[in-house]
Amino acid sequence: MASKQVSFTASRSAGSYTSLRQKLRAMRCQSAVSSARKPKKGEEPTIAFVLDDHLQELQAGAQSFWKEDFFRDACVIVEDKSFLAHRLVLAAYSTYFRNIFTMDHEPNDDGMFEISLSGVQAKVADNVIQSMYTSKLNLSSTNVFDVLELADGLKYTVAVQACTKYLKENLNKENCLRTMSLAISYHLDDLKEDSGKFAAARFEEVKHTAGFMALEWFTLRDFIARDDLRATRELQVFQAVVAWLQKDKTKRQKWAVRLMENVRFPLMTPNEVVDSVESVGFLMSVPEFQDLVKEATHYHLTPLRQSILQSPRTNPRSSVRLPAVLGIGGTGNNGGSIMCFTPASGKWRTFTKMDTVPRHHHAVAVLGGFVYIVGGEEMGRSKSVLRTACRYDPRTGEWLTVASMNRCRLSFQIGVLDDFLYAVGGRVSNEESLCNVERYNPQVDRWEDVASISTPRRLVAVATHNHRLYAMGGSSHNRISNKLERYNPANNHWEQKRPLLTCRFSASLHPVGGRLYLVGGMTVVNGHSMAGMKVVDSYNPNLDQWTRLAPMSVPRGEAGCATLDGKIYVVGGYDWSANKYLDQVECYDVQTDEWSAVASYPNRGAGIACCSTILLRLPEGSDESDGTSIASTAATVPSTTGTAPSTADTVNPVGRSVEDSHMSPSKARESLRSAAVSRSRRELEAEARGKLKRLSSKHKMEEEAGNCTEEGEVMSASLPGQGESYSAFVQPSTTCGTCVNSRAAVLKTRREFATMAAQPSPGVVWSGAAVVASTGAAVPSPVQMVTPVQYPFYMWIQYLRSLWRQYSTWCICPVRCVCAHISDVFLCVRALHILSRRRLRGLGRLGRALSSLRRDRGLCYGNMNGC
């Protein structure tokens, strides 16, 4: 056995001790140096050496004794075979053997301790016992489960870890479910999670395996209850459970209700519930199962009540679960957008466009996972004060209009209390503030008045805590309030509490950890000057007591504010002292009482309404640390308005058909037409744009490889019964992919503008360069027509900006193209007027005239090859 040799003379002097440590360092005996202690008075210095290769020598000696049959005193009997070993080695590695040997276990006449193991294969036992001496455990796909079972029974921790690692690295669709079952039985949480994720991501494959049919009922229950179960439709989960029940119906039918409680019937379409669920007779005879079907039916029949009908069964399945802050509207350029911030990425991105008029100084609230956007002031020249309200589902991207408030109002906030939305105070104009409070009842889709606050006030901070609604501060008639009022819904009464430490308005109020945090706001200084506030105060409702906390770095009012994971995010706002809008975003940690800066908001602005939610899908270009993307969403969720995707063409949430990855344009056209049955306009347009983009990329790659043989095609999709049709042109192989993509953007703009220019369904198709009408389409009368001139100024600005971005990126004559494009839009709108009066007469002549006009100009958007 090798060890470092140290030669020295011991001395009782402190100087000699110091010299000793220096010598040890010089010889790199760090373990000896660290163990060398300073001697006490009258004591010789001592040093404890760590012997090199000590454990290796011990293992080599034990292995030698085992092979040469020296000192063996234990015998493990398996299947009439005896394996001789040493008690000391067995007890060192196995807790089971250690307990056996330390109990009153007597040896036989030969002094040998015998232990019998039942239900174990001899070759498996031999493999495990050898590993205790050699540190080598032989694992394969055929023996790993048996080895894991024996190692777990012997409490042989090192072997269990080796089996776990092997299984993690060799998961496949055939063994993942068995691995998950064993992990549950042996309480191997890491292996359970990894194998469960693997199986959930491949549900459509593993549901057909023997391992799925062999699952215990409780394992199957936990498996189908997973949020990340990736099924294209929830109907597939139901059908898989039915197949498992029918495998042995006599024994398994008693578990039917317990299993079906984890199938998310509200995520099915109404047609699927009626045609595929109610047709299973042996289930429909069970009253508990009938209740589940009734729940799904009510969910679809009452879309406005869905926010108060939420349960685990209404939660869409997705592998993405990201807490996020949403910034909605505001006075900046993003007034018509919803921005999102996730701590995982640390960035702000555009999540979606608002399907309502752009607005600012409105109010938002989250109820049942749905975001309600209420009131505010319309952006643009009109600056109308709104009373309209809408509901947005960030999980599915669907919008729904709900009942409007009884009064127009802006500069107010909303609190959520017992499934009601309470709109408190606000203003109608600069001169008129409101004391009125009204609440929205999703059960009946109606706003109703409740008790008013004590005085008319705008920009009141509102929050709920412990079934009470709190309203703090505000301003009216050049007076700033320090009032704190608390509303009790049981008696419809407001009561006064301890006033604020400082009069303020336009602050934000949020409950965190049993306290209410009042952040920022504005006040008046020197009797007349407006000033933003940095201060943050905390209110304890139980003690009716205020506490001053760490201030923000920037004074601000009219800011957006939201709470996420125990932290308060303050977004944008207005700084009166600097007379400017802000884009800074600050985060307050209530645990440490500290503020930190996070990524700035994309645009400066005030009147931004913020809320927090859990995202099940991500914006384009996301790079979250967990590697998830928008495509991670697992199931297509049926529309809340009752329109359902066709069962003939299953589409995932990104709008991509399951079988179209290598589809030609002609096949794509047929697929789009078949998929259009009962599909909404939004779904259809998203799918058409997605298909065109993928096909364009495919053509570009094939062209570069010299394999592009496709002819120019017009992909189109119709909405039967609605008289609408959309199309996008795919250029022949002589056109580069960049031009194809650019043309797709132009066609998209034209299609959207044509849709705006004629409401309702005009039946207009942009096919190549001509405007045609769908066969049988009901062309609207001139009274229904809306010309572009009638649209607000801000919409024209956005439209011109989009055109310039499209043309300036690839065109050598962007100014001419934009001008010609706008002139053609006016010409096409005029054409719709003509068609509506002439009842489609002269349609061919008009189309030919427009085509000739574009060819004569030779412009890029009319002839891509001319660029």
Give the separation between CA 784 and CA 829, rounded to whole angstroms: 12
Give the separation between CA 51 and CA 815, rounded to whole angstroms: 83
Give the separation between CA 389 and CA 356, rounded to whole angstroms: 9
**DSSP H/E element including 20:** helix 14-26
- Residue 641 is predicted with a pLDDT of 42
Question: Both 745 and 851 in a single domain?
Answer: yes
Q: Are 638 and 645 contacting, i.e. CB atoms less than 8 angstroms apart?
A: yes
Question: Both 842 and 727 in a single domain?
Answer: no
Q: Are 863 and 854 contacting, i.e. CB atoms less than 8 angstroms apart?
A: yes
Look at residues 764, 768, 771 and name the one whose alpha carbon lies nearest to residue 747: 768
- Count up the domains in the chain and report the number: 4
Q: What is the pLDDT of residues 402-443, one digit of tens each?
A: 999 999 999 999 999 999 999 999 999 988 999 999 999 999
Question: Both 508 and 491 in a single domain?
Answer: yes
Give the separation between CA 28 and CA 800, rounded to whole angstroms: 74
Give the separation between CA 317 and CA 326, rounded to whole angstroms: 21
Give, in order, the Cα–Cα distances in Å from 769 to each of 730, 736, 742.
13, 19, 14
Apex CA 287: angle with CA 282 and CA 288, to 5°? 100
Name the residue with tokens 């952006």.
379
At residue 95, what are phi and psi to the nearest 5 degrees? -65, -35
Q: Confirm whether 35 is domain-assigned.
A: yes
Question: Both 698 and 787 in a single domain?
Answer: no
Is the Cα torsion angle 747, 750, 755, 758 positive or negative in sign? negative
> How high is the mean pLDDT in each 10-residue block of the chain (867 residues)?
38 46 50 54 70 65 66 82 84 86 72 83 90 88 92 91 94 94 92 94 94 95 94 95 94 95 95 93 93 94 94 92 94 87 92 91 96 93 90 93 95 96 95 95 96 95 96 89 96 96 94 95 83 94 95 94 95 90 95 95 93 83 45 41 35 32 43 44 56 54 45 35 34 35 42 40 31 32 35 56 61 64 59 47 50 47 35
Q: Confirm whether 274 is domain-assigned.
A: no
Look at residues 183, 245, 186, 178 and name the one whose alpha carbon lies nearest to residue 212: 178
Q: Where are the beta strands (DSSP E) in 248-346?
A: 322-328, 337-342
Question: Both 440 and 581 in a single domain?
Answer: yes
Question: Both 838 and 719 in a single domain?
Answer: no
Q: Among the residues of 758-860, which ranges form H helices?
A: 793-808, 814-838, 843-857
Question: Both 751 and 781 in a single domain?
Answer: yes
Give the separation between CA 594 and CA 599, rounded to whole angstroms: 17
Give, in order, the Cα–Cα distances in Å from 456 to each of 344, 360, 424, 479.
42, 21, 10, 10
Other CB atoms within a 10 A radius of the CB of residue 580 amount to 10
The DSSP-derived string for 623-671 is: --TT---GGGB-SPPPPTTS----TTS-B-TTS-BTT-TT--HHHHHHH
Give the separation between CA 589 and CA 845, rounded to whole angstroms: 68
Give the separation between CA 604 and CA 201, rounded to whole angstroms: 41
Determine how β-strand 567-571 pairs with β-strand 560-564: antiparallel
Question: Both 485 and 408 in a single domain?
Answer: yes
* Beta-bridge partner residues of 421: 416, 440
- Residue 108 is predicted with a pLDDT of 72
Question: Both 790 and 678 in a single domain?
Answer: no
What token pair was written down for 197? 């994720």
CA atoms within 13 A on the CB side of 260: 26
Q: Confirm whether 394 is domain-assigned.
A: no
Domain boundary among 716, 734, 752: 734
Look at residues 833, 808, 679 and name the one whose alpha carbon lies nearest to residue 754: 833
Question: Both 786 and 819 in a single domain?
Answer: yes
Give the separation between CA 4 and CA 106, rounded to whole angstroms: 44
- Residue 772 is predicted with a pLDDT of 30
Give the separation between CA 743 and CA 730, rounded to whole angstroms: 9
Enumerate residues 6+ apart whose C-beta is below 8 A from 565. Answer: 323, 343
Give the separation between CA 130 and CA 147, rounded to whole angstroms: 12
Q: What is the CATH number of the domain that holds 562?
A: 2.120.10.80
Q: Confirm whether 476 is domain-assigned.
A: yes
Question: Both 456 and 599 in a single domain?
Answer: yes
Q: Confirm whether 497 is domain-assigned.
A: yes
At residue 359, what are phi and psi to the nearest 5 degrees? -150, 165
Is the Cα torsion angle 308, 311, 317, 319 positive or negative in sign? positive
Q: Confirm whether 2 is domain-assigned.
A: no
Look at residues 77, 159, 172, 164 and name the one whose alpha carbon lies nearest to residue 118: 77
Is the Cα torsion angle 25, 31, 32, 38 positive or negative in sign? positive
Q: Confirm whether 554 is domain-assigned.
A: yes
Q: Confirm whether 63 is domain-assigned.
A: no
DSSP 8-state code for residue 39: P
* Beta-bridge partner residues of 461: 472
The parent domain of residue 830 ranges over: 739-867
Give the separation between CA 853 and CA 770, rounded to whole angstroms: 10
Q: Are 4 and 29 contacting, i.e. CB atoms less than 8 angstroms apart?
A: yes
Q: Are 148 and 131 contacting, i.e. CB atoms less than 8 angstroms apart?
A: no
Give the separation between CA 315 and CA 644, rounded to whole angstroms: 18
Name the residue with tokens 């997605």.
690
- Residue 129 is predicted with a pLDDT of 86
Give the separation between CA 465 and CA 648, rounded to whole angstroms: 48
Other CB atoms within a 10 A radius of the CB of residue 23 amount to 14
Look at residues 70, 132, 67, 122 and name the one whose alpha carbon lies nearest to residue 96: 132
First to last CA, the chain: 82
Q: Are 811 and 862 contacting, i.e. CB atoms less than 8 angstroms apart?
A: no
Question: Both 475 and 500 in a single domain?
Answer: yes
Three-class SS state of 152: helix
Three-class SS state of 240: helix
Give the separation between CA 612 and CA 809, rounded to whole angstroms: 36
pTM for the full model?
A: 0.66
What token pair was written down for 345? 């990425």
